[in-house]
Structure 1
Amino acid sequence: MRLRHIEIFHAIYTTGSITNAAKILHVSQPSVSKVLSHAEMQLGFDLFERVKGRLTPTDEAEMLFDEVDKIYQQMRSIKNTAENIKKSEYGQINIAGSPALGFDVIPSAIAKYHHKHHQVNFNVQTVHNDAVMQTLLEHKCDLAILFAPNVMPGVTSIELAQSELVIVYPKVSFPDCPKELTLNQLKEFEYIDIGDSGPLADLLWTRMMKDNISLEALIKVQTYFIAARLVAQGVGICVVDRFTAEGNLSDNTAIASFNPPLTFPVKALYLENKSLSKVSQEFLSYLTTEFSDDSK
C-alpha cells in the first residue's frame, strides 16, 4: 500500500463513509473512491463491503487496520514535526563562541529565544577565538560567534556589532576614573599580559608599535576574565575586550577606552556549504538585536 492508500483507508475506516473521509481530508468524494479502488486492486482483496450505500470493513481490513494505524500515527507525527520546524518550534542550535560573549550577550539572547521556543535545543561551546573557528570548520557547530575573524574561503560572515579593547584598572591608580587613557599613561603600572590572544593581541601590538611603547608584564594569563579578576585583586592593569571588562567589573575597578579607540568587529560565521537551519536563522536575529541593545 502506498502512503496515500493508507491515508484514505484509515479515514474511511474511522469515519465510516467516503463522504466523511472526503470532508476530513479536504478532497472530493470521487477522488477518495478512486484511491480506494486502486488500493484494493493492488492488494488483491476488498477493504470494504458496500451494503445499501454503507461501507463495512471486511475481515481482511480488520486484520490490516492495526498495522495501518501504526503507520498513520507515524505520518501524523512527521507532519506535526514538520509544522513545528516551519514555525521554529523544534530543532537544535549548535553555537561556539568566545568566553567573553558568555558573560551576557549570548545567554541573554538564548533566554529570550527559549521563552518563545521551548522545544528548540541549544548546544553552546565557549572556546578561545582560534578554537571557535576550528570548531566551525570541523562541523562541530552551526554558528560561530567571535572577535575580528580572519576572512576564509567557504565561510560566510555577518557583522553583529563593533566592540573595542579597553583598559581595566584599579580606581586607586586613577582616582578621577578617566573614561579614556593612552598607552603612555599605562607605562608606570604593572601590566597583566594576555599573551597570544589572536587578532585582538595583534590589534594592541600594532598600536604599541605605532606609539613606540611596550608594556612589561610579570604575569601572563591565557584567559581575559582571569586578567580582569587579577586587576580586581589589585595586581595591576590589563587590556581586554569590553564584554569581558563589563562582565567582571568590581567595586574597586574601572574601565577606560583607548584614545584613540581600538575597535574591532564581532561577527557570526557559518559554512557556505552547510546552510543555516530555520531555527538558527531566527536565533541569529535575536543575537543581532541583543548586540544592538548591548551597545546602547
Structure 2
Amino acid sequence: MRLRHIEIFHAIYTTGSITNAAELLRVSQPSVSKVLSHAEMQLGFQLFDRVKGRLIPTSEAEMLFDEVDKIYQQIRSINNTARNIKRSSKGTIRMGVTPALGFEAVPEAIADFHRDYPNVSFEVKTMHNDEVMQSLIEHKCDFAMLYSPKEMPGVESSKCADSELVFMYNKHWFDEARTSLQMSDLEDKEFIDIADSGPLADMLWTRMMKEGVRFSSEVKVQTYFIAARMVAKGIGFCVVDRHTAESNLCGDVAIASFEPKLTFDVCLLHLANKGIPKVAEAFIPYLKDTIASDF
C-alpha cells in the first residue's frame, strides 16, 4: 500500500463512508473512490463490502487496520512536527521548563523580552526530566531548562546558572531566624516529603545518608508548590529549590541554606543535531540573566 492508499483506507474505515472520508480529507468523492479501487486492486482483495449505502470493513480490512493505524499516527506526528517547525520560523518560542522556574523566572524573562520583541509569541510547557526527550524530538519545544538533568543520548546540555536546595521552615522554631541550618537542626520536626522529585530528591537522600540523618514524615506530596503551601500552614518543613522557596515566601515562613550548601546546576537542553531557532536564541540570554539574578 502506498501512503495515499493508507490515508484513504484509514479515513473510510473510521468514518464509514466515501462521502464522510472525502469531507474529512477535503477532497472529492470520485478521487476517494478511485484511490480505494486502486488500493484493492494492488492488494488483491476487497477492503469493504457495500451494505445499504455504507462501507463495512471486510475481515481482511480488520486484520490490516491495526498496522495501518500505527503508520497513520506516525504520519500525523510528522505533520505536527512540520507545522511546529513552520510556526517557529514565524516568531513563536516553544520552551519546556521545570515547574519551579514558572513561578517567577520565566514570567519575568518573558516580560522583559516582550518589551524588546513585542511580536514574538510564546508557548511554555512545564515538564519533568523524563518528558524532555519526546518533546524535543517532536518539536513541541525548541529547548528545555531543567534542574540537574541526567545525560540523555542525542540531547546537548549546557550549564546556565547555579541554584541550591533550601529549607522552608517556621521562623518561630528558633530564637532568631536562621539563614543556614544543619540537617540535624530539624531532625525532630515534621518533614513534608516530596515524593518522586527526580535528581534533586536523589541529592537530598545522598546528603541524609552521608550525615546519618532521618526525617520523620507523615505527609507526602507530589509537587514543590504544595509542599511550600503546607509549610505556610504550619504543618512542618520542606526541602525545595531556592526559586520555589523565594516565590512562595510568606507569613511565618523562613528560608535557610544547607550547611554546607547543597547546590546544583540549572541547564539548557536541546537536540544535539538540531539548531535552536534564532528567535529562541535571542530569548535565552534574558532567561539566563533572570535565573542567575534570582539566585
Per the TM alignment, residue 129 of structure 1 is displaced from its structure 2 partner at its CA by 3.7
Per the TM alignment, residue 265 of structure 1 is displaced from its structure 2 partner at its CA by 0.2
1:115 aligns with 2:98: no
Partner of 1:143: 143
Letter in 1 for 2:200: L
Kindly report which structure 2 residues correspond to 1:81-100, keeping only aligned pairs within 5 A, or say none.
90-100=90-100
Aligned partners of 1:130 and 1:248: how far apart in 2? 26
Aligned partners of 2:251 and 2:133: how far apart in 1? 35
Aligned partners of 2:103 and 2:258: how far apart in 1? 22
1:170 aligns with 2:133: no
* Contact 2:92/2:121 (8 A) holds in 1: yes
Deviations 1:188-221 (A, max 9, x none): 0000000110000000000011011111210000
Partner of 2:35: none
List structure 1 segments (4+ residues) > 4 angstroms apart after TM superposition: none
With structure 1 as the length reference, what TM-score do the two structures score? Answer: 0.67
Gaps of 5+ in 1: 1-87
Secondary structure of the corresponding residue to residue 172 of structure 2: coil
Partner of 1:179: 179
* Contact 2:162/2:266 (8 A) holds in 1: yes
Secondary structure of the corresponding residue to residue 119 of structure 1: coil
* Contact 1:97/1:132 (8 A) holds in 2: no
Per the TM alignment, residue 128 of structure 1 is displaced from its structure 2 partner at its CA by 3.0
Letter in 2 for 1:288: K
* Contact 1:165/1:239 (8 A) holds in 2: yes
Partner of 2:130: 130
Percent identity of paired positions between Structure 1 and Structure 2: 52
Partner of 2:279: 279
Secondary structure of the corresponding residue to residue 163 of structure 2: strand
Per the TM alignment, residue 119 of structure 1 is displaced from its structure 2 partner at its CA by 1.5
Letter in 2 for 1:120: V
Gaps of 5+ in 2: 1-87
1:103 aligns with 2:103: yes
1:242 aligns with 2:246: no
Partner of 2:42: none
Partner of 1:231: 231
Aligned partners of 2:175 and 2:121: how far apart in 1? 47
Per the TM alignment, residue 137 of structure 1 is displaced from its structure 2 partner at its CA by 4.3
Kindly report which structure 2 residues correspond to 1:151-166, keeping only aligned pairs within 5 A, or say none.
151-166=151-166
Secondary structure of the corresponding residue to residue 203 of structure 1: helix
Letter in 1 for 2:269: L
Kindly report which structure 2 residues correspond to 1:5-154, keeping only aligned pairs within 5 A, or say none.
90-154=90-154
Letter in 1 for 2:270: Y
Report the RMSD for the aligned CA atoms in angstroms: 1.9
Deviations 1:50-103 (A, max 9, x none): xxxxxxxxxxxxxxxxxxxxxxxxxxxxxxxxxxxxxx9951110111111011
1:202 aligns with 2:181: no
